[in-house]
Structure 1
């Protein structure tokens, strides 16, 4: 096979081209099966150039994780208008999440599957992204709860678990939606909204569900 000829272009543009190819390859083939030769060929560059720009397969995968994580968190934040009622904010945030993961299935595969199963450094990158999204959802829910209960001092810990559960459900549902033909981002968002808001709505109205007393079970 002859050497790959590349046109001169700014380093940042070339690097993004490589990352595009890497995300596609890692997302579809998995971290272990993906090869630097395959990534270089898909990017239309030589393998030495990939190593020159991104050092190693591990560094390339880390760069992919960071780029995809930043894009997802930005999409969720950009999708929420803080001036809307709480249910609309949650709806718009969920719709932005599912729209982004549906449009970027390879990136979502990297974040949800590949990075979490190939070592602590990769998993830590995804954990940082997840923590940012959970914190964002926590703030959204706690602000609504404080307003509903007229209690500006309501602790975040009162709703932190709800945010964790909601984000976890969204992650699982996104994986299912991407693997299920015909399920749209809007449908996925509506499914989770219907599941979550009945409980959150009761909480905002001061009617939380409580476990039965141990003596009466």
Structure 2
């Protein structure tokens, strides 16, 4: 091991922060692509092109490394989504900008999303607790956008709390569904994904960005 000019210990001349980032990136890729249960420290070491003992020296256990991955991913996502929720026009504009922001942030490796949303993490474990806490933070931020959309739509200060709960539940599911679809269709760009979702939403709701929903007269029973 060596020491860089700042005093940070690294290996083979690589500063410690760079080595940690290298290991975390390899771990995110492995966990995202294969899931927590299918990944070993040895596999992460191979992907990072370093030794297994070195991974343990930097991060300790597999669980500790997974926790660091979840924490880093959560902070990254919240860091880019929060400004959108705070500044975009409520409703469809905010939804579309949020999605494009997520897609753009994850464009190099969409599978990273699954590290936070792995449904098979062992219950009552540190990895499950930290991932659940990260998802809760994402859900709480989504609730802010949902409530803003409902207030904007109704033109009122108060919202129906049950409506808000249902809408946020649907929104969280939609985002993860879009991410899993993207993983299966990696040729799609962030702009294309966002445009496709907008077209689908318009088709399903008959809501047009440039105006209110079209009203169709009821058809007589035959």
Q: Which runs of 5+ in 1 are unaligned?
A: 208-217
**Is the Cα contact below 8 Å between 2:100 and 2:194 reproduced in 1?**
yes
Q: Which has the higher helix share?
A: 1
Alignment gaps of 5+ in structure 2: 1-9, 215-222
Shift of 1:151: 2.1
Separation in 2, partners of 1:61, 1:176:
24
- Partner in structure 2 of residue 184 of structure 1: 189
Residues 1:166 and 2:171 are matched in the alignment: yes
Number of aligned residue pairs: give it: 199
- In the alignment, does 2:118 pair up with 1:99? no
Residue 217 of structure 2 corresponds to none
Taking structure 1 as the reference length, the TM-score comes to 0.75
Q: Which has the higher contact order (CA 8 A, sep 6+)?
A: 1
Deviation of 1:58 (Å): 1.4
**Distance in 1 between residues matched to 2:188 and 2:79, nearest whole Å:** 23
Query: What residue is the counterpart of 2:156 in the other structure?
Result: 151
1:70 matched residue in structure 2: 75
Moved over 6 A (4+): none
Calculate the TM-score normalised by the size of structure 2. 0.73
Residue-by-residue CA offset, 1:141-173 (whole Å, 9 max, x unaligned): 322332443321324443221121012012012
